[in-house]
Structure 1
């Protein structure tokens, strides 16, 4: 079971989350989080709960498209809790036509099992050189 749970967390981290960021689908983005999730971006205010997280996410994509590639480096599961640590290389494309940039992030997510689905309970990331 542990390997199955680790595979589910890896899929959320490396596939589902990046797809939802690329699409900008707020409903799909919200569905990845627990009701009391905490979203802690670099250089921004912490957001708590799905409505607050959606406000932060919508603001972050309002003037740019983000194309992230996530790679999980460590995944651990203990019962209905787990975590994933990894790297994201995000291509940022400003909607005003300015040149694209790439930013590397280090991410730590605490995951919580909700029924048969894993959801993000705590999401912390920072910019790396």
Structure 2
């Protein structure tokens, strides 16, 4: 396992992804995924492919701001595939004035090296109660 690959996966998980969510950067969000990516959120339909994933992401951010903090707990790399398991604590602020809340998630991402760049190929996350 290359420490450089491991660090790049960590950077996508802990830095790039949260920044794209926080800033509602749809183009940046799309660039993180492989063409055939599968996005599996809790309490919602699976999304397949970048266009479908972006539709789901746009729906998530349409009526609320999300400020997530991601922490990678385990990262493994096997040639051009890898995975990361971690936690996210997200501060969610609805636009309608409803109270801000915090949500905790456990995330598992299967990563694939695509033209030298680590991208998300499979993303699943579920709610975690304190």
Using the size of structure 2 for normalisation, the TM-score is: 0.98
CA distance in 2, matches of 1:97, 1:6: 40
CA distance in 1, matches of 2:10, 2:28: 17
Q: Deviations over 1:63-82 (max 9, x none)?
A: 10000000000000000000
Alignment match, 2:3: 3
Q: Which runs of 5+ in 2 are unaligned?
A: none
Q: Deviations over 1:70-109 (max 9, x none)?
A: 0000000000000000000000000111110000000000
Runs of 4+ off more than 2 Å: none
Q: Indicate whether 1:20 and 2:20 are aligned.
A: yes
How far 1:116 moved relative to its partner? 1.4
CA distance in 2, matches of 1:71, 1:25: 20
Q: Which runs of 5+ in 1 are unaligned?
A: none
- Map 1:62-81; keep pairs closer than 5 Å: 62-81=62-81
Alignment match, 2:99: 99
CA distance in 2, matches of 1:87, 1:117: 23
Alignment match, 1:38: 38
RMSD: 0.7
Using the size of structure 1 for normalisation, the TM-score is: 0.99
CA distance in 1, matches of 2:33, 2:88: 19
How far 1:115 moved relative to its partner? 1.5
